[in-house]
Structure 1
Amino acid sequence: GPASGRASADEAAAVAASVAIVAEAARRDLRGLAPSRSGEVATAVLRLAPGLARLGAAHPSADTRVVALRALQDLAALPRAAVFPVHQQVRQLLSASLDADERRVRSAAVACGGAWSTTMSVRR
């Protein structure tokens, strides 16, 4: 019911907040990280990005889809090398979010897709 949808949205918001913190820390510090730490960031992206894209595409709660798409957008700000392995999968899953009935989900999907396109087009 509505309570379980709210719990899912709250859980997704907590995950998204964690992703945003990790993404911001990684953006600030990735250049100075030891290679092993850069690998940890890439591994985290491999684990998080597809799941967030699936949540953004298919979760029954629009709130959860928006939060997941925003978190996925934050991940796109990481260096290209970290996100390149999953970009095709993310872009394919984003197409379902672009067809959502809710305007806010579509808007979040457009912003997310734009961030991923920018990351893939910029050499860094």
Structure 2
Amino acid sequence: MGEYETRRQKRKSSLDSGANRSPGKMMDPDPVHRYEQMESAGQQSASPGPARSGDCISDEIAERDSRLACAKQMIEILTLKVEKLEQLMALKDGKIQALTMQLQQDDMGANYDDDDNSIK
């Protein structure tokens, strides 16, 4: 915001100084004067800029660190969930195998007829 006010003040002062010129030159300031104004405005805005950008950079770093910590925590939680799901899958697979074996044994027993000792 300070840069904008400084440039506005410079623009106003250049317009005020143009009042002493001829009417034709008032709307068209000479390029050298305009370049000098832009250069001085750039130098003035450059000095407070690094302090502000340093604050912005440190804020961005703090925000990035916070997001990184949240992401790491989320990774840990998701890793634990994956491990639990793998355990459940192993348990489910074990139950499926046990039930499959029991079903096969029951089928073998149902196909066996006790009366004539033959398989259907």
Confirm or deny a common fold (TM above 0.5).
Answer: no
The TM-score with structure 2 as length reference comes to: 0.27
Question: For the pair shown, which has the larger CA radius of gyration, 1 or 2?
Answer: 2
The TM-score with structure 1 as length reference comes to: 0.27
